[in-house]
Structure 1
């Protein structure tokens, strides 16, 4: 039986990936930071067969203990300070967890595996935010990285460190440069879930409006359940590599609002959306759209959920949650 260790198992990607790996017959271990983590009950409900281990990406000794206990054949590093807006307010901790955390885990794997470092396959969750001030459209694996947030900078460090360990120590270490991927499990601080949750509450008369920042920013949005399959496929390849994972379509925040409000029968949302400058980024990323040709050709991967279907799924889930509350 294959054994997989997932850092960041409490997030949307960790939950979907844990479900996929369990279905594929893996023994799944999840790294959890803090024994009083409020998301532990959620993980235990979604992944009852998973073994949760306590450790911290900022503490290499704890990572070595977790690796010894789980003895994984595959490690998926999804753990990070992942909310971009938070990274400006807490650039140092974002660096410690998102950047140095990846380095700590790579080094712990190298020490744990010894001369068989290629026997533990490693996945690094890289991000389209690394492209930032995009130097070409669409963005692909060879596009120059120009991050525009502390989060993007931290992810760029982790991305290059993954490449360095692959080239220096022969590790089977791959990075998935994932563009924005969402689901009903997305945290409410992220704009897609913020919108779907607010729209559900507006539909039920529990909220009057939603405060937004830049409505013209454009993103390439896909479904998280599709994207975790790409992660798994990367580690099934004979050779490690880096892959862009994206839909190849771009939509603005206005498009997001259009589809979300249409789902509850509102065609003109202008009276429900108010501008708040607090939600503007210090350095905006205007347009992200990915070219996933390499993932399609080499991994046989392609998205199955379209933009409108994704937004509808999220609004419907939040309507159900609101009605049940």
Structure 2
């Protein structure tokens, strides 16, 4: 009999890749979406006929209880969040409600329905913030530097709390930055690849960015969702850092992305103070030794391959948009 999985945030980057992975493994996949007038399903349109969409809201406890009763999932992957760090400064309360308290509501819904389900919480490397040691491991102290990171930290610790208090199979994956052609346009890597594509097609002549010296550990989202699945296949629940173990600057990403389109990045990139964060996270570098040993996981797509993949996809996307506008 096939397993049932519930994915919150299924319309996002990670949700779409995870849904594809689980379908390949013959899961019955349920995806939670809010009932709004403009739900964007562009990332999952190609698999919509293979998954079951259920309506619920991370801010509404009763809806989550109802969804758990309806789906009776074997595995729950909580990928729903107000996930953009920049917006968390302008929407701190909403970010806390969805990204922090939403986790508690899900865990309560599992407990109230007495489900014997395995739970995955999407934790974030942003929780390390003002890093206390490099590289960061599961034991590195947290020092969040944004409302988003603080909310994620709450979600992380409430997951640990329910695991230890109620003997629930609840895991957290502390995922470092992971990108793809499906990344939201507001994230710096996608902003760069989209900018390169537009410059390549002559639609704009400059790209404004914030801190070019910020360092991140960037991997491919398609690789990282496999680690999520592996965590829920273990005998005991635990928390794992998922990262490449390499760090690169925003400037390096620019160099490779523009080079992939045959362009010189220095001619087009302009630093704009408006895109600087109130409290910057300078360096994130993950040590995923535990995940590699315990789960047998390792990243497959390199940093350069990732940047080139995103630029190629956006050049093709912009070209399709230009064609459709001419019709």
TM-score (ref. length: structure 2): 0.96
Q: 1:137 aligns with which of 134, 152, 175?
A: 134
Q: CA deviation at 1:42?
A: 4.2
Residue of structure 2 in register with 1:90 after alignment: 91
Q: Deviations over 1:185-227 (max 9, x none)?
A: 0010000000000001111111100111100000000000000
1:1-325 superposed matches below 5 A: 1-40=2-41, 42-113=43-114, 117=115, 119-266=116-263, 268-325=264-321
- Ranges of 4+ aligned residues in structure 1 off by more than 2 Å: 35-38, 40-48
Q: CA deviation at 1:40?
A: 3.0
Moved more, 66-75 or 37-46: 37-46
C-alpha separation in 1, matches of 2:244 and 2:256: 17
Q: CA deviation at 1:137?
A: 0.3
Q: Deviations over 1:217-253 (max 9, x none)?
A: 0000000000000000000001000000000000000
Structure 2 unaligned residues grouped into runs of 5+: 322-327
C-alpha separation in 1, matches of 2:247 and 2:26: 35
Q: CA deviation at 1:274?
A: 1.1
Structure 1 unaligned residues grouped into runs of 5+: none
C-alpha separation in 1, matches of 2:71 and 2:16: 18
What count of residue pairs does the alignment treat as equivalent?
320
C-alpha separation in 2, matches of 1:42 and 1:13: 10
SS in 1 for 2:31: strand
Change (3 A) 1:294 1:24: same
Residue of structure 1 in register with 2:325 after alignment: none
| 8 Å CA contact retained: 1:15, 1:47 | no
SS in 2 for 1:162: helix
